Amino acid sequence: MCALVKLIDALEILKHPRSDNAPAFRLGLACGFTPLHFETFLRAHLSQRFPGKRVHLDTGLFGDLIGNVERLARAPEETLMVVIEWQDLDPRLGIRSLGGWRTTDLQDIVTSVDQAIARLQGSLSQASDSLPICISAPTLPLPPLFMTSPRQASSCELQIRQLVASFVSSIAEEPGIRVLSSQQLDELSPLGDRLDVRSEVQSGFPYRLAHASTLAEIVATLVEPSTPKKALITDLDDTLWAGILGEAGPEGISWSLDQHSQLHGIYQQFLESLASVGILIGVASKNERQLVDRAFERTDLRVSTEDIYPVEAHWSRKSDSVGRILRVWNIGADAVVFLDDSPMEVAEVKEAFPKMECLVFPTGDYKAFWTLLKHLRQAFGKSVVNEEDLIRMKSIRDAETFHSVADGSDSLDDFLQTAAASMQVQFTRDGRDGRAFELLNKTNQFNLNGRRLTKAEWSAYFEDPAAFLMTVTYEDKYGPLGKIAAVLGRSDDKTVQIDFWVMSCRAFSRRIEHQTLRQIFEKFEAEDVHFDYQSTARNAPLQEFLAGLLGTPVLPGYSLSMAKFSSKPFELFQHVEEIVHG
């Protein structure tokens, strides 16, 4: 990342303002220094990340970081960006204050930093309830105020660094708070090239332009992270392991130091790490299936074969294998990375799936391998791991079983009656449900209107006393699906208005949507339910469901009466439990 943007380039980007009609994105920038060119860079980077929006930045007062955090948290911001520098924790750690650097002052500075951090932490924790927060811990070098030579760390310096490290590690655990990686910044902006002493003294802006640009670019990606990829399809020979299985046999392939094939072991370990956070891993290999199964029986593999599904091992084209895997996973090619050591295979898959990221596995090239791992972590990085991530692979395997049994049943009713399905539904007026928010913003097929909400819009929705959130968690004898549906609506005197309704495609064919609607009618004793329906390019499953209830094509302004719903001849077999807390 980081194509360094110069100040003149940033100004050029900002010369083309968005239309006044474009929706605004409001960011609060809390810092204790004059934001000056950092603000310009940040606005430019955010404008690029929000191409359809007008970026509006609010800033605060010079020298009052904590006050700025508290003020901006009360303003109508969508995200709060907090950029901390040492002088915000004690002015004596900057160069615009002459508070004293005597040895006897140092312990007092440590105490003062501790107190400032406590206050800042309290303000941030409170603010994080209402809006997402991105934080950059101090990026500048500490001034030479300690008694030791710069080559030797002093006790006070280490205490100050420890206080900050402890603070950021603690705050990073708060939901809704993202902390900038100092390692990433260190790679892109050398520590010695960050502080501009002249600018800091003369104008209160402490950064050299290159550092301001790099820092702004990274924090902009924290504000609006790229959508993480969902799945990886890997080749086997000279990729998952070193060697050709068909020639060396299951015992001849390797991934260890002593066989000079450690990179493949690291790669396996990396795949296991991805799988542990819900990334799907599949295999597309030109090999004999029987041999692959024997290789997968080796107990020294660094990735569990439980985490790999499906395995396409035969002599057909790789693109055919990839196509089948995508159908099993039911995800788009743009959410997948394909890895193979053969440039020809990579090209063949890329031609068949232009939106898929297809990469050559750099066998034997240590430097390129390291770059690849970092790139993959960038592509698959996610801020939180939820319960659904942990059961995703099992759920896909279970779905295969579910559909094969369903296909063999005499009727859907017969099948569903024996599925031992249970649903937990929860109605709440509290919007602090990260999974429901995620479902709303990533579900396409069963989606009432395709509308997305920012965190701020989501929170604002619940300011309406009539608003409710309904979530559905499902399980049957084929396995748990987790929390798979969310409905946002408003109830008023026997009428319910549904503004948003999404359900994971993993939950299709189980009449969960029918039961969801029944629960809404019953919960609110509703006579009519109105839907804010809009057709989208991808919500055909939702359209078919609604049209089936009404018996006519579905149109915007769709509504359904209890009488009409009850007259429909379908049976529901789920055991329903309402969760009442929350």
SS3 sequence of 95-106: CCCCCCCCHHHH
328: contact with another protein by CB under 8 A: no
Output 151 or 198, the one with its CB closest to another protein.
198
First to last CA, the chain: 41
How many whole angstroms separate alpha carbon 105 and alpha carbon 422?
A: 65
CB 42 within 8 A of CB 55: no
339: contact with another protein by CB under 8 A: no
Mask: binding to another protein, 25-54, rule CB under 8 A, as x and -? -----------xx--x--------------
* 23 DSSP 8-state letter: P
Residue type, position 167, single letter: F
Exactly one of 162, 203, 316, 418 binds another protein (CB under 8 A); which one?
203
* Burial profile 299-315: b = 16 or more Cβ within 10 angstroms, e = fewer: eebbbebeebbbbbbee
CB 264 within 8 A of CB 241: yes
Joined tokens for residue 539: 């919500």
The nearest distance, CB 23 to another protein, in angstroms, is: 23
| Touching another protein, residues 209-228 (CB under 8 A) | 209
170: contact with another protein by CB under 8 A: no
Output 7 or 277, the one with its CB closest to another protein.
7
Output 44 or 440, the one with its CB closest to another protein.
44
257: contact with another protein by CB under 8 A: no
Q: Which stretch binds another protein (CB under 8 A): 5-13, 273-281, 330-338, 554-562?
A: 5-13
What are the φ/ψ torsions at residue 435 (nearest 5 degrees)?
Answer: -70, -40
Output 193 or 334, the one with its CB closest to another protein.
193
95: contact with another protein by CB under 8 A: no
563: contact with another protein by CB under 8 A: no
Output 11 or 248, the one with its CB closest to another protein.
11
Exactly one of 103, 166, 170, 202 binds another protein (CB under 8 A); which one?
202
In order of 31, 73, 427, the CA distances from 387 in angstroms are: 35, 30, 19
61: contact with another protein by CB under 8 A: no
193: contact with another protein by CB under 8 A: no
Sorted by sequence, the CB contacts under 8 Å of residue 435 that are 6+ apart come out as 386, 387, 388, 471, 482, 483, 486
198: contact with another protein by CB under 8 A: yes
Exactly one of 1, 12, 175, 420 binds another protein (CB under 8 A); which one?
12
377: contact with another protein by CB under 8 A: no
Output 209 or 240, the one with its CB closest to another protein.
209
**For the chain, what is the largest distance between any 2 Cα atoms, rounded to a whole number of angstroms?**
87
119: contact with another protein by CB under 8 A: no
How many whole angstroms separate alpha carbon 168 and alpha carbon 504?
A: 35
Q: What share of the chain is helix, strand, coil (3-state, %, to 5)?
A: 45, 20, 35
6: contact with another protein by CB under 8 A: yes
| Touching another protein, residues 261-300 (CB under 8 A) | none
Sorted by sequence, the CB contacts under 8 Å of residue 282 that are 6+ apart come out as 231, 232, 233, 234, 308, 309, 310, 311, 312, 325, 328, 329
19: contact with another protein by CB under 8 A: no
Q: Which stretch binds another protein (CB under 8 A): 75-83, 145-153, 198-206, 476-484?
A: 198-206
Q: Which stretch binds another protein (CB under 8 A): 7-15, 318-326, 392-400, 521-529?
A: 7-15
Sorted by sequence, the CB contacts under 8 Å of residue 496 that are 6+ apart come out as 489, 490, 520, 521, 524, 526, 528, 529, 530
Interacting residues with another protein (CB under 8 A)? 6-8, 11-12, 14-15, 36-37, 40, 198, 202-203, 209
